[in-house]
């Protein structure tokens, strides 16, 4: 059996049958990671930790005490604090930072026997849609056409690139406005953002606390179900973590959605949407109908205001969260000139440590929270957010089980092609995903096809709050019907 | 509302980010562009709608007022750019 190209599901079953060892599996992936520097996906490699963890996993497997992720090699987004391992959120301001504690998500994963191959590239502080704001340089999409390089999307670009290129069996991502789902769609993989509060945020570097949620990025829906179960659950260290039990998501994958109502929101048919995206959406609708679901036209009238509301709320929260990077307690401190006081230290440290996009968002956030503008921008955006959530509430109250939309307005674009664009143009990448964060709902991106250039395209399913099990089952049906099996041609 | 150089300078100051004088016009223009995009929110009728504070209705959980993770001064200081005698050290604050 080839150890390359495995899914979490296949590897789990084979490890339990002792067809190969966790150490053999881990060595295969350490090697794959080492040969893939051209992708820029792994930014801190941890082979020693991986080998220790895989040896421990082999003991558990031999003893017959093996949770689903025991011995499974994973990549961890740089946003997660991992004890004594660099955790920089792809920012210069956290250079040299070695967390003295472990995030709840990685604690759970390691407790289940998972193996960490290293830390993954991302946009700085998860602010970006192309992985180009990273202090490490950008990650590259394995789906790049000859003679050019495409973005893997962002912010979880390294996670998406690593999973799509088969450098690991799965990766953690985080999603504040689409940062799991957009890169998953750009790289032909599955990514789920759970309901807000399903996964603990403890030890995840904060961007916008009311929107941030971590989730898995995997090759299949079944893998996502297995991985999410291992990450999720109540955590007293995150006051927004929900005190709910975690269902067996994998057991929910029955493939039966007969009689379920799938909502198709008319406001997601945007002006200027490409024919390809429209055709992809129509084919997804047909797949759900063929599976016995009832297709229902619905209206989510405040959709168009989601992006502007998001770009008030997220920077406002970010400006507050990122105030902690002051050169005092951890990370970078600027070299000071004679006579410089503490204010100069703050200002120089933050100017040197934060990249352009992060600075821009901190300043926008500072502005909308400042005296005189708080009501006009911040409170207004929070009111609009309430209306966006109400749109979804009404749809679900009317009996809708899941909502089907495109995941992204296009396939992966070329790295550098947005360099001279207005910041707002880059923000438009989140147009289909951002509503889900504002409403706190679960959303999943499933690869459905290739565009005319041969690049992957995905569709998004949105579920009811806490109904990830049902959502994953809908995604499973879409995945089976779409039969997406294409792989990128290896060039790295 | 358009952001001029003066407002850009004030925002940078409030955000504690040093911006060179020569970069202020460009910053002002970028911030103005983003704020113009946000002006769309003025089209929405928000009368009678409360600002959302929490996406899921939940009561803030309480716990006993006890130290849960104390006695780790060395760990807290481990990443400090400058730590002395058990404290974070910073440039002179008071003249």
Instruction: State pLDDT tens for residues A248-300.
Output: 999 999 999 999 999 999 999 988 888 999 999 999 999 999 999 999 999 99
Choose among A93, A78, A86: nearest CA to A355: A93
DSSP of A47-75, one letter per residue? HHHHHHHHHHHHHHHHTT---TTTT-EEE
Instruction: Say if A83 is an interface residue toward chain B (CB within 8 Å).
Output: no
Query: How far apart are alpha carbons A12 and A23 in whole angstroms?
Result: 13
What SS3 class is residue A461? strand
A2, pLDDT greater than 90: no
Please report the pLDDT score of residue B1 as a whole number: 62
Please report the pLDDT score of residue A441 as a whole number: 98
Query: Which candidate in A54, A144, A155, A159 is catalytic?
Result: A155
Q: How far is A136 from chain B (nearest CA, A)?
A: 21
* Chain A residues with CB-CB distance to B27 below 8 A: 360, 363
The C-alpha angle A302, A273, A424, rounded to 5 degrees, equals: 65
**Domain boundaries, given as residue ranges, for chain B:** 5-42
- Nearest residue in chain A measured CA to CA from B12: A363
Choose among A457, A15, A447, A455: nearest CA to A218: A447
Please report the pLDDT score of residue B94 as a whole number: 73
The model's pLDDT over A24-69, given as tens digits with 9 standing for 90+, comes to 999 999 999 999 999 999 999 999 999 999 999 999 999 998 999 9
* Chain A residues with CB-CB distance to B12 below 8 A: 363
Please report the pLDDT score of residue A224 as a whole number: 98
The model's pLDDT over A389-433, given as tens digits with 9 standing for 90+, comes to 999 999 999 999 999 999 999 999 999 998 888 888 888 889 999
Give the number of A-B residue pairs with CB atoms closer than 8 Å: 167
Mean pLDDT value of segment A5-13: 97
| Long-range contacts at B73-79 (CB < 8 A, ≥ 24 apart) | B75/A100, B75/A101, B76/A100, B76/A329, B78/A98, B78/A100, B79/A96, B79/A97, B79/A98, B79/A100, B79/A329, B79/A330, B79/A331
B54/A386 CB distance under 8 A: no
* Chain B residues with CB-CB distance to A330 below 8 A: 79-81
Query: How far apart are alpha carbons A166 and A331 in whole angstroms?
Result: 32
B79/A385 CB distance under 8 A: no
Instruction: Say if A439 is an interface residue toward chain B (CB within 8 Å).
Output: yes
CA atoms in the 13 A half-sphere facing the CB of A205: 29
Burial (CB count within 10 angstroms: exposed 0-12, middle 13-18, buried 19+), residue B46: middle
Task: Give catalytic status of residue A445 as yes or no.
Answer: no
Q: How far is CA A419 from the centre of its chain?
A: 23
A1, pLDDT greater than 80: no
Q: Band the pLDDT of A344: cuts 50, 70, 90.
A: very high
Q: What are the CA-CA distances from residue A393 to residues A387, A388, A390, A399, A463 (Å)?
A: 10, 9, 5, 10, 11
A423/B60 CB distance under 8 A: no
Q: Which of B10, B46, B52 to mutate to test the interface with A (most CBs of A within 10 A)?
A: B52
pTM given for the model: 0.97
The model's pLDDT over B46-70, given as tens digits with 9 standing for 90+, comes to 999 999 988 988 888 898 999 888 8
* Chain B residues with CB-CB distance to A348 below 8 A: 18
* Chain B residues with CB-CB distance to A327 below 8 A: 81
Query: How far apart are alpha carbons A8 and A221 in whole angstroms?
Result: 10
Task: Give catalytic status of residue A155 as yes or no.
Answer: yes
A311/B37 CB distance under 8 A: yes
Q: Which of residues 73-92 of B touch A (CB under 8 A)?
A: 75-76, 78-82, 88, 90-92
* Chain B residues with CB-CB distance to A384 below 8 A: 41, 44, 46
- Nearest residue in chain B measured CA to CA from A336: B91
Tell me which residue in A96, A308, A341 faces B93 most closely, judged by beta carbons: A341
Instruction: Say if B31 is an interface residue toward chain A (CB within 8 Å).
Output: yes
Mean pLDDT value of segment A127-140: 97
CA dihedral of residues B21, B27, B32, B37 (deg, nearest 10): -170
Whether A342 and A392 have beta carbons less than 8 Å apart is answered as no
The model's pLDDT over A418-471, given as tens digits with 9 standing for 90+, comes to 888 888 888 888 999 999 999 999 999 999 999 999 999 999 999 999 999 999
Whether A366 and B27 have beta carbons less than 8 Å apart is answered as no
First to last CA, chain A: 23
- Nearest residue in chain B measured CA to CA from A320: B15
DSSP letter, residue A82: B
Which bin fits A314, alpha (ψ -120 to 50), beta or left (φ > 0)? alpha
Query: How far apart are alpha carbons A87 and A219 in whole angstroms?
Result: 25
CA atoms in the 13 A half-sphere facing the CB of A462: 28
Q: How far is CA B81 from the centre of its chain?
A: 21
Task: Give catalytic status of residue A77 as yes or no.
Answer: yes
Query: How far apart are alpha carbons A321 and A207 in whole angstroms?
Result: 7
Please report the pLDDT score of residue A145 as a whole number: 85
Query: Quick count: other Cβ atoms within 10 Å of Cβ A74?
Result: 31
Mean pLDDT value of segment B8-16: 97
Please report the pLDDT score of residue B56 as a whole number: 86
- Residue ranges of alpha helices (H) inside A151-304 are 157-164, 181-187, 221-231, 275-290
- Nearest residue in chain A measured CA to CA from B46: A383
**Which of A205-209, A225-229, B62-66 comes out lowest in average pLDDT?**
B62-66
Q: How far is CA A381 from the centre of its chain?
A: 24
Tell me which residue in B7, B41, B58 faces A384 most closely, judged by beta carbons: B41
Q: How far is B25 from chain A (nearest CA, A)?
A: 13
Please report the pLDDT score of residue A272 as a whole number: 80
The b/e string for A369-385 (b: 16+ C-beta within 10 A; e otherwise) is bbeebeebbbbbbbbbb
Whether the ω angle into residue B41 lies within 30 degrees of 0, i.e. cis, is no
Tell me which residue in A302, A345, A423 faces B90 most closely, judged by beta carbons: A345
Please report the pLDDT score of residue B68 as a whole number: 85
A159, pLDDT greater than 90: yes
User: What integer best gives the mean pLDDT of chain A?
Assistant: 97
* Chain B residues with CB-CB distance to A243 below 8 A: 61
Token pair in block for residue B48: 């009678």
Query: How far apart are alpha carbons A204 and A19 in whole angstroms?
Result: 35
B95, pLDDT greater than 80: no
What SS3 class is residue A186? helix
- Nearest residue in chain A measured CA to CA from B61: A239
Instruction: Say if B54 is an interface residue toward chain A (CB within 8 Å).
Output: yes
A98/B79 CB distance under 8 A: yes
């Amino acid at each position: 059996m080839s150890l390359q190209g495995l899914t979490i599901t296949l590897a789990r079953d084979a490890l339990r049958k002792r067809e190969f060892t966790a150490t053999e599996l881990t060595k295969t992936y350490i090697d794959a990671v080492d040969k893939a520097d051209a992708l820029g996906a792994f930014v801190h490699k941890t082979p020693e930790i991986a080998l220790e963890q895989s040896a421990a996993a082999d003991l558990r497997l031999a003893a017959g005490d093996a949770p689903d992720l025991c011995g499974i090699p994973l990549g961890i987004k740089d946003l997660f604090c991992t004890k004594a391992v660099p955790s920089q959120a792809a920012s210069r301001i956290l250079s040299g930072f070695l967390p003295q504690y472990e995030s709840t998500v990685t604690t759970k994963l390691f407790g289940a026997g998972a193996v960490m191959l290293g830390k993954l590239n991302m946009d700085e502080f998860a602010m970006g849609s192309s992985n180009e704001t990273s202090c490490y340089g950008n990650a590259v999409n394995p789906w790049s056409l000859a003679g050019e390089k495409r973005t893997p999307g962002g912010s979880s670009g390294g996670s998406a690139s690593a999973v799509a290129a088969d450098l690991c069996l799965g990766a953690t991502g985080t999603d504040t406005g689409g940062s799991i789902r957009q890169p998953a769609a750009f790289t032909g993989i599955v990514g789920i953002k759970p309901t807000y509060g399903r996964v603990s945020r403890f030890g995840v570097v904060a961007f916008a606390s009311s929107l941030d949620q971590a989730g898995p990025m995997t090759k299949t829906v079944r893998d996502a179900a297995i991985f999410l179960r291992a990450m999720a659950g109540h955590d007293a260290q995150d006051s927004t973590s929900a005190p709910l039990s975690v269902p067996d998501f994998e057991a929910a994958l029955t493939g039966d959605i007969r009689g379920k109502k799938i909502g198709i929101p008319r406001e997601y048919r945007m002006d200027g949407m490409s024919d390809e995206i429209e055709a992809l959406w129509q084919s997804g609708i047909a797949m759900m109908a063929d599976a016995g679901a009832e297709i229902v036209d619905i209206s989510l009238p405040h959709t168009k205001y989601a992006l502007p509301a998001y770009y008030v709320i997220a920077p406002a929260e970010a400006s507050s969260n990122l105030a902690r990077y002051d050169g005092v307690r951890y990370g970078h401190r600027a070299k000071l000139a004679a006579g410089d006081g503490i204010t100069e230290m703050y200002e120089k440290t933050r100017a040197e440590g934060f990249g352009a996009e992060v600075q821009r968002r901190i300043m926008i956030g500072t502005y909308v929270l400042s005296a005189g503008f708080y009501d006009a921008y911040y409170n207004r955006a929070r009111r609009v957010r309430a209306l966006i959530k109400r749109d979804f509430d009404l749809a679900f109250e009317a009996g809708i089980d899941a909502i089907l939309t495109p995941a992204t307005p296009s396939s992966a674009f070329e790295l550098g092609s947005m360099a001279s664009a207005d910041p707002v143009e880059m923000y438009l990448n989140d147009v289909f995903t951002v509503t889900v964060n504002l409403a706190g709902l679960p959303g999943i991106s499933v690869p459905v096809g290739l565009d005319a250039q041969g690049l992957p395209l995905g569709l998004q399913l949105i579920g009811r709050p806490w109904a990830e099990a049902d959502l994953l089952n809908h995604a499973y049906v879409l995945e089976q019907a779409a039969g997406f099996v294409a792989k990128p041609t290896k060039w790295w | 509302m358009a952001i001029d150089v003066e407002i850009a300078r004030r925002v940078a100051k409030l955000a504690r980010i040093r911006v060179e004088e020569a970069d202020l016009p460009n910053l002002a223009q970028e911030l103005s562009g983003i704020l113009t995009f946000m002006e769309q929110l003025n089209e929405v009728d928000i009368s009678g709608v409360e600002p959302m504070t929490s996406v899921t209705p939940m009561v803030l959980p309480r716990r006993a007022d006890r130290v849960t993770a104390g006695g780790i001064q060395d760990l807290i200081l481990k990443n400090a750019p400058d730590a002395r005698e058990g404290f974070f050290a910073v440039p002179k604050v008071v003249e």
